[in-house]
Each structure stands twice: as C-alpha cells, then as structure tokens.
Structure 1
Amino acid sequence: MRESDIQNSIRLALNPYAVIFRVNSGKVRMKDGRFFDTGVPNGYTDLSGFRKSDGKAIFLEIKTDKGRLRDAQKHFLNTMQQYPIICGVARSPEEAIKIVTGG
C-alpha cells in the first residue's frame, strides 16, 4: 500500500476523533522557473489537526511498513514531544487511532 493510501485511510478513520488536515511540505519549481515554498518547516508531519474532545493539537507522520523517518522528520517530532500535544508515527489507521485516543 502506498503512503498516500495509508494517509487517506487514516484521515477517514480519525474522523470521529479529530479534525485532520493533509499538509504538503517543501519547495516545488513552477513552470515559470520560480520556486513555491509551502511555508511549513522542514520535517513537518504529513497530517496535523486537533482532537475533537479537547482541542489538543495533533501531528502525525505517516509511513509504510518499511518506511523510515528522515532526520528532519525525527527532529520535528522530537521537538513537538516537548509540548503537551499529540504526536507520533503511524503505519495504519489502528495505530493512528491509538495515538490520538491515548489507547
């Protein structure tokens, strides 16, 4: 299964628990040669949002079974773990639900 398929299934599975947004990060060269920068920091998670029950922020990095975190992604998650928010790496909808619900 592709990472984008996992992201979509996680977004659907989390709907009862959270409002989740898909965020693309990085820079893209446009047809006219200029670069477009998404504006989020390097390593920003694939999915972010907030938990419906208490408004707590959520940052989820999504990976396939064999996917590995890049250094920038590790740094972002380590930084976020210093705050009272929800963050983690999910490889399935079930993992994402456990992260978000604290199960």
Structure 2
Amino acid sequence: MTEEHRIQNEIRCAVSPYCTVFRVNVGEGRTADGRYFTTGVPKGFSDLFGVRHKDGRAVFIEVKTNSGRVRPEQKKFITKMRECGALAGICRSAEDAVNLLMEE
C-alpha cells in the first residue's frame, strides 16, 4: 500500500460520521485488441467524492502525501467545484479532511 493510499483510507474512516464518500478509480490501458482507453472521469477529478450528511453539499477531496504535488488539472477542478458551491480541497491528513467538512 502506498503512503497516499494509507492516508486515503484514514480519511475515509475519519469523515464517515460527517459524509458518505466514494473512492474514484482512474486509469488507462489497452484492450485485448490494442485499442487505447481511459476511465470516465475528467483529468483532475478528486480521489474521493461524496455528500455531506448535514446538508447534502457535494464533497471533493484530493489526497496527497506531505510531499505530494498538486497537478494544474487538480487545482482547476477543485477551484471549479468550490465555485459551484461544493466543499473541495487538498487533504494531506485525516485532520485536513475533517476540517474541510466543517466549512460552512
């Protein structure tokens, strides 16, 4: 398990009293006959997404290690989601994620 996956699992446990979150699996590859494909979410889509229990507000959490770099597409996605009224941010710990969910 990578450090980012460990943090992601800690976040999922810590936020469960406050929201329902789902992990987004992304990737790319080739089919058996050689065709290229990518999964269905746009570049920059956050690692975790869901809904805050108290008000149904959308939640987007980009998980990073302490040294993890945020890609421009991720910054753009988070900015756009916040402009739309969602709770969205970069979280490097479970504490960061819980603090994000406490925003009004």
Deviation (angstroms), 1:15: 0.6
Residue identity in the other structure for 1:10: I
Contact 1:58/1:85, CA 8 A, preserved across alignment:
yes
Deviation (angstroms), 1:78: 1.5
Q: Partners of 1:54 and 1:48 in 2: how far apart? A: 15
Q: Determine the structure 1 residue equivalent to 2:98.
A: 97
Q: Determine the structure 2 residue equivalent to 1:70.
A: 71
Q: Determine the structure 1 residue equivalent to 2:83.
A: 82
Could you state the TM-score of these two structures normalised by the residue count of structure 2? 0.89
Q: Is the partner of 2:29 in helix, strand or coil?
A: strand
Shift of the 32–7 alpha-carbon distance from structure 1 to 2, 3 Å rule, reads: farther
- The number of aligned residues is 103
Residue identity in the other structure for 1:62: V
Q: Partners of 2:80 and 2:27 in 1: how far apart? A: 19
User: Between the two proteins, what is the percent identity of the paired residues?
Assistant: 46
Matches within 5 A, 1:11-26: 11-26=12-27
Contact 1:27/1:35, CA 8 A, preserved across alignment:
yes
Q: Is the partner of 1:55 in helix, strand or coil?
A: coil
Q: Determine the structure 1 residue equivalent to 2:50.
A: 49
Q: Partners of 2:100 and 2:43 in 1: how far apart? A: 22
Contact 1:58/1:86, CA 8 A, preserved across alignment:
yes
Residue identity in the other structure for 1:86: L
Contact 1:45/1:59, CA 8 A, preserved across alignment:
yes
Structure 1 residues not aligned, in runs of 5+ = none
Deviations 1:10-49 (A, max 9, x none): 0011110000000023422345433342211111000000
Q: Is the partner of 1:81 in helix, strand or coil?
A: helix
Bigger Cα displacement from structure 2, 90-99 vs 66-75: 66-75
